[in-house]
Structure 1
Amino acid sequence: MIREVSTRPFADQKPGTSGLRKKVRVFQQPHYAENFIQSVFDVIAGKEGATLIIGGDGRFLNREVIQVAIRMAAANGFARVLVGQGGILSTPAASHVIRKYGALGGLVLSASHNPGGPDEDFGIKYNIANGGPAPESVTEAVHARSLVIDRYRTIEAADVDIDSLGTRRLGDLVVEVIDPVADYAELMAGLFDFAAIRALFAGGFRMRFDAMHAVTGPYAHEILERRLGAPAGTVVNGTPLPDFGHQHPDPNLVHARDLYDLMMGPDAPDFGAASDGDGDRNLIIGQHQYVTPSDSLAVLAANAHLAPGYARGLKGIARSMPTSAAADRVAAALGIPLFETPTGWKFFGNLLDAGLATICGEESAGTGSDHVREKDGLWAVLLWLNILAVRRQPVTQVMAEHWARYGRNYYARHDYEAIATDRADALMAALRGSLATLPGRATAAGAVASADDFAYTDPTDGSVSARQGVRIGFADGSRMVFRLSGTGTEGATLRVYLERYVATDGDLAQATAEALAPLVAAAEEVAGIARFTGMDQPSVIT
């Protein structure tokens, strides 16, 4: 029986770059999740008789909200819902399933790399029929609807069994519980040379994959250990937990420190990797060699032809504006376009749909290709393994040869987390107010050569995205970027990106901190970070 439940709007349901993210206690408010889901359903057309995908990263509240979403889908005219078994569906796998089964879209329940648990974070993101995050036109409409919503539709019914594979009915709705891994594993087998990777492992190649008690555990166990023959134990922390084992599921050098220490130790495996809460980010570390996400994008693009799925070459490369220019040099060498976009995977989706780009990447550990419309952590790991299997070189040699050919972009990101929003806004306002006077100013990194607020005109639809981050360039080609992140749930996160390019005839073996020290000092001089935030050092450096 369909019920219309009276409700009142919440003023804080504006989706960010990756959907709506809040603390669990916010989502647990009566009607909160229902209001947002109904706002999504109210603005999307074509629900009658359509298929909807639902799944998430297994974090706390995942199962409860899935049941809410199923009942609401039944009341809003959907004919079929596909749910990952146990509520599990990685973000890239959800993107693939949406595309494979011709779904209208999908609800991805995740807060990505943010911590989980009753006192931590939860999120809901709507992905459209191409498998990618909803564009701004949709998220803005959802927000507008959330501000005036006065009712939501649901049905009275018991919870659906989402732990057993198979089909069941909820009123007129068909609910199909699917294996969350099978379709994705089949896709990967079609892109990569599994035989070559199996031979690599058979030859004694050692790897450590840290799933961080997040969603990629089942995917990594199936693909790496069962299908590719990596020894049992290659995947660690492989069971998804609602609180990620009291860990922060962000694959960076702070939260994946155990993996980093292992890879830098005396008995390091040949290759180390990790993925995040919902499976869309990656960390790559060779034996005694950390690979920055920016460098990883460049290396993957330069070597993608070694994998069967990319043997015909790339149509183009896209990177977010804060990502280093390392990939630009690869694109130039390959004679293909390079697109610089705002942060947010939805900007890449338009380029991929239009056939303008094949591989995309963001400095925040997200890399992917046109196989889905999301970044894909395990995909990046498998492409690295394919490259190592063909080249038969350690990661250190791959990186050394890459820098010797293209030069090196020394790069780091400094995050200042949980800043009072008014302070973060004041810092950015002051920076923007100084743009006209910055060129020519002397700093510890040299004279400022350029300063602007990045704006992007989408080449596929002509839409303009302004105020995407302050860029400050120097005479030697170095640069700094300042922007506020939209992925947090509490306060604001200031991200400062530092980049220095050294040509092939320069010193390519410096410590990154040493190479970037003048830029660190210049960032404080120009932005007054300590004065505005009260923080004398970053929360995280990646």
Structure 2
Amino acid sequence: MIERIATKPYDDQKPGTSGLRKKVPHFKQENYVQNFLQAIFDTVGKGERETLVIGGDGRFFNRDVVAIAIRMAAANGYGRVIVGQGGILSTPAASNLIRKRGAAGGIVLSASHNPGGPKGDFGIKYNIENGGPAPERITSAIYKKTKAIGEYRIYSAPAPEFLTVGERSLGDMTVEVIDPVADYADLMEELFDFGKIRDLIASGFKVRFDAMHAVTGPYATEILENRLGAAEGSVVNGEPKEDFGGGHPDPNAVYAADLIEELMRDDGPDFGAASDGDGDRNLIVGRGIVVTPSDSLAVLAANAHLAPAYKKGIAGVARSMPTSQAVDRVAKKLGIGAYETPTGWKYFGNLLDAGKVTICGEESAGTGSDHVREKDGVWAVLLWLNILAERHESVKAIIESHWSEFGRTFYQRHDFEEIDTDKAEGLMESLRDRLASMAGQRFGSLVVSEADDFSYKDPVDGSVATGQGVRIVFSGGARIVYRLSGTGTAGATLRVYIERYESDPAKHTQDPGEALAELISIADSVGEIKKRTGRSEPDVIT
């Protein structure tokens, strides 16, 4: 029986760059989840008896919302829902399922790299039929619905259990519970030369993958240990936990410090990697070197042809605006297109669908290709392993060779977290007010060549996104970028991106902090960070 439940709207259900994210207690307010899901169902166009994919990263509250989503899907006319066993699906695996099964879309439950637990973060995102995050025209329409909602529809019976694989029903709707790993692992085996990677590992090459007690544990175990022959225990922290084992599932130098420490030892593993809460981000570490996400994107683009899926070359590359320009230099040498988009994976979808690009990436540890419409942490790890198996060089040697050929882009991101929102917005507004007069100004030894508030016109559908971050570009190409993050749930996070290009190989071994010292100082003075926020140091540097 379908019930229509009266409800009242909330005024804070505007999706950010990756869906709606709030603290768990906030989501637990009366009808908060139901309102947002109904707004999604009321917004997205679908044919009768369509298929919907449902799953998430297993964080606290995941199973509760999966059950609600199943009941509401049944009440809103879906003919089939495909659910990951136990409510688990990595974000790239969900994208693959939507595409493979011809689903109308998917409900992806995740707050990505944000912490979990009863007082941690939770998130709901809608992915469209191409497997990618809903574009802004859809998320804006969803938000509009949330502000006027008066009722939601839900099936009165409880959701069928989804802890075991198999089919069951809820009213007229089929609930198909699947192994969350198998389809994704099969796709990876199609893309990469598993035989050569197996041979590399069999030769004594040691791999360490830190799943951070997040969703990729089962995926990495099946692929790296079971299919590629890495030693048992090569995947650490592999059991997904509702609170990520009390850790922070963000694969960076702060939260993956144990992995990095191990790779810095002379007798450490040859290759290390980590992924985040929902499996779409990655950290790559070689013995003696941590690879920045921007460098990783550039190296993968330059070497993608070594993997079977990309042996004919790549059509083009895309990066988010704050991501370093290292990959642009690869694209120029390859003679392919390079696109600069706003932050948010949804902006890559049209470029991928139109065949304009093959590989995309963001400085926030997200890398992916046209195999799905999400960034994909395990995919990036496997492409690296395929490259290593073909080149028979260490990670460090490959990076240094890349710098020698293309030059090195020194790069850092400084995060100032949980700033008072009014102060953060005031800082950005002050920067925007000064942009028109900034060109030609000298700061230390650097002269501003241009300054703007980044806007983007999609080359496929002509849609426009404005206010995407303040860019200050200096003569010689050095850049400082300021933007407020759309992925936090408390206060505001100011992100400052700092980069400088160096063509001289003799200077490539310089410490990034030293190479960027002048720009770091300029970033504080121009942005008035300490003056406006009281913060003299960032909370996190990546």
Given the two structures, how large is their TM-score scaled by the length of structure 1? Answer: 0.99
| 2: CA distance, partners of 1:286 / 1:310 | 23
Match of residue 394 from structure 1: 394
Match of residue 514 from structure 1: 514
| 2: CA distance, partners of 1:529 / 1:477 | 23
Match of residue 108 from structure 2: 108
Is the deviation greater in 436-445 or in 347-356? 436-445
| 1: CA distance, partners of 2:484 / 2:338 | 24
Superposition deviation, residue 440 in structure 1: 2.2
Is the Cα contact below 8 Å between 1:212 and 1:276 reproduced in 2?
A: yes
Is the Cα contact below 8 Å between 1:47 and 1:77 reproduced in 2?
A: no
Identity %: 63
Matches within 5 A, 1:150-299: 150-299=150-299
Letter in 2 for 1:151: E
Matches within 5 A, 1:45-124: 45-124=45-124
Letter in 2 for 1:293: P
Letter in 2 for 1:427: L
Is the Cα contact below 8 Å between 2:266 and 2:287 reproduced in 1?
A: no
Is the Cα contact below 8 Å between 2:71 and 2:158 reproduced in 1?
A: no
Letter in 2 for 1:525: S
| 2: CA distance, partners of 1:151 / 1:445 | 61
Superposition deviation, residue 207 in structure 1: 1.1
RMSD over equivalenced CA pairs, Å: 0.8
| 2: CA distance, partners of 1:533 / 1:242 | 34
Q: Give the SS at the match of 2:436.
A: coil
Q: Give the SS at the match of 1:328.
A: helix
Is the Cα contact below 8 Å between 1:485 and 1:494 reproduced in 2?
A: yes
Q: Give the SS at the match of 1:153.
A: strand
Superposition deviation, residue 534 in structure 1: 1.4
Match of residue 536 from structure 2: 536
Q: Give the SS at the match of 1:435.
A: helix
Superposition deviation, residue 266 in structure 1: 3.2
| 2: CA distance, partners of 1:191 / 1:30 | 45
Q: CA offsets per residue over residues 384-428 of structure 1, 9 Å max, x none?
A: 000001100001110111000000000010000111110100000
Match of residue 440 from structure 1: 440
Q: CA offsets per residue over residues 406-460 of structure 1, 9 Å max, x none?
A: 0000001000011111010000000001101212222235122211111111000
Matches within 5 A, 1:331-350: 331-350=331-350
| 1: CA distance, partners of 2:303 / 2:379 | 14
Match of residue 359 from structure 1: 359
Moved over 3 A (4+): none
Matches within 5 A, 1:382-531: 382-444=382-444, 446-505=446-505, 507-531=507-531
Superposition deviation, residue 263 in structure 1: 1.1
Is the Cα contact below 8 Å between 1:131 and 1:373 reproduced in 2?
A: yes
Letter in 1 for 2:176: E
Is the Cα contact below 8 Å between 2:159 and 2:170 reproduced in 1?
A: no
| 1: CA distance, partners of 2:184 / 2:330 | 29
1:129 lines up with 2:129 in the alignment: yes
1:327 lines up with 2:327 in the alignment: yes
Unaligned runs of 5+ in 1: none
Given the two structures, how large is their TM-score scaled by the length of structure 2? Answer: 0.99
| 1: CA distance, partners of 2:506 / 2:140 | 48
Q: Give the SS at the match of 2:71.
A: helix
Superposition deviation, residue 47 in structure 1: 4.9
Q: CA offsets per residue over residues 86-145 of structure 1, 9 Å max, x none?
A: 110000000000000000000000000000000010000000000000000100000000
Q: CA offsets per residue over residues 242-288 of structure 1, 9 Å max, x none?
A: 00000000000011111111111232210110000000000001001
Superposition deviation, residue 234 in structure 1: 0.5
Match of residue 27 from structure 1: 27
Q: Give the SS at the match of 1:410.
A: strand
| 2: CA distance, partners of 1:74 / 1:450 | 54
| 2: CA distance, partners of 1:154 / 1:525 | 54
| 2: CA distance, partners of 1:417 / 1:348 | 27
Unaligned runs of 5+ in 2: none
Q: Give the SS at the match of 2:397.
A: helix
| 2: CA distance, partners of 1:123 / 1:97 | 20
Is the Cα contact below 8 Å between 1:443 and 1:525 reproduced in 2?
A: no
